[in-house]
Amino acid sequence: MKTNRFIQTFILTAFIAILVSCNGGKKNIQETKEAEVLPEDIVELRDDQIKLADIETGSVGMRSISGTLKVTGLVGVSPENLATVCMPFGGFVKSANLMPGIAVTKGQTLAILENQEFVDIQQNYLEAKSKLEFTEADYKRHAELYKEDVYSQKNLQQVTSDYKSLKAQVHALEQKLNMIGINPAELHEDDITRSVAVVAPISGYIKAVNVNIGKYVAPTDILFEIVNSNKLYLELTLFEKDADKVSVGQKIRFFINNESDQHAAIIYQTGKVVNADKTYKVYATVESNCKNVLPGMYVNAMIEATSGEVTALPSESIVSFDDKDYIFVFEKNKEENGKQFTEYRMIEVQKGVTDEGFTEVVLPKDLDIKTAKVVIKGAYNLLSAKKNAGEMSCG
């Protein structure tokens, strides 16, 4: 193994040395002719350098590729399974003994609040309700007298207005009582209380507690946050070019943190818009109740993707440089000072799915795939020469 590595290192070092040494030959040529300046995307090699770099060219093919898309995303929870608990009229905290992480059920008391306004609402409701009973009876009596032409229309209208106004007042107070958790139907004169219970609107786990005994909370303050992690979903981020490789119903395998255990999800919705950064959202339902998967977690996911006939190249023909992907394409042959040279052009591409040694590529529109000769072997040697020699031309 060490011998093989030594040989590989020796060959690569020799190859780079030959490319760089060509600059020494330029000194003699510059005495008679100024050296040629090549574009940044052009690599120029002599025939012996091409042979040493083991460069081979081939054509762009069409293949039916199926493979795995590796994507990232976050764990989310649907709105009906995430609750923010507030008290519409505020108050002072009388009791609260729950801690984050504790399981609660829907309707369970989370805290007890006290407020003088609770007393006022109950008093106003009972008084208005009592007046309404009298006003309703008076309204019915005057309506009967009006039918018998004993009572004037004007007086009936006044009584009707008073009755409807009081009825609306009672209904409004009923709604306020419901908001603070008091049932109007069960409220009587002897049941007026200054304390009300804050109850859980859903079942789940306490995510956050923002109260303590004696604290005054305003109507806009968040007292508790509750999350139900039984129904989670994934929000995955794909690149625009991969949007056609996913569809509703596809299965997903995902991992959290550094765990080796995989979890399953199924795509239920694909995004309808492409974001400004050219990314595309996909949403999937987590299939089972995974105890270690919690909202907000970062996930690595794999989507089994399939595609029809696409442009594809051997994976080794695609090189990465400065966080971008490139291929080398034959440009032309030429002769300088009695020596044969070949130019290769470095072209940026976008990678897709990889399957059985071939990778889908999105090529520039101006590249004719019928005539283009792509470097399918030795591409990394060309890239290495570019990095180490700084320029590709030799004279």
Q: pLDDT per residue over 311-370, tens digit each? A: 889 999 999 988 889 999 999 998 888 888 899 999 999 887 777 788 888 899 889 888
Q: Where in the chain is the domain with CATH 2.40.30.170?
A: 28-78+231-395
pLDDT digit string, tens, across residues 240-281? 878 877 888 888 989 887 777 888 899 999 988 888 888 889
Candidates 345, 253, 337; CA nearest to 301 is: 253
CB 122 within 8 A of CB 193: yes
Q: Rounded to an integer, what distance in angstroms lies between the CA atom of residue 345 and that of residue 364?
A: 13
pLDDT at 99: 93
CA dihedral sign of residues 292, 200, 113, 295: positive
pLDDT at 27: 44
Q: Is the pTM of this model over 0.75?
A: no
pLDDT at 150: 62
| Residue that is written with structure tokens 């992907």 in the block | 325
Residues 6+ apart with CB under 8 A from 3: none
pLDDT at 199: 94
Residues in the chain: 395
Q: Rounded to an integer, what distance in angstroms lies between the CA atom of residue 208 and that of residue 222?
A: 9
Q: Which residue ranges in the chain fall short of pLDDT 50?
A: 1-7, 9-10, 20, 22-33, 391-395
CB 293 within 8 A of CB 286: yes
pLDDT at 34: 52
Q: Where in the chain is the domain with CATH 2.40.50.100?
A: 83-227
Q: Rounded to an integer, what distance in angstroms lies between the CA atom of residue 224 and that of residue 208?
A: 5
pLDDT at 9: 46
Architecture per CATH, 83-227: Beta Barrel (2.40)
pLDDT at 16: 52
215: left (phi over 0), alpha (psi -120 to 50) or beta: beta
Candidates 89, 109, 82, 79; CA nearest to 175 is: 89
Q: Yes or no: is domain 28-78+231-395 CATH 2.40.30.170?
A: yes
Our CA dihedral for 47, 50, 51, 54, rounded to 10 degrees, sits at -170
pLDDT at 278: 86
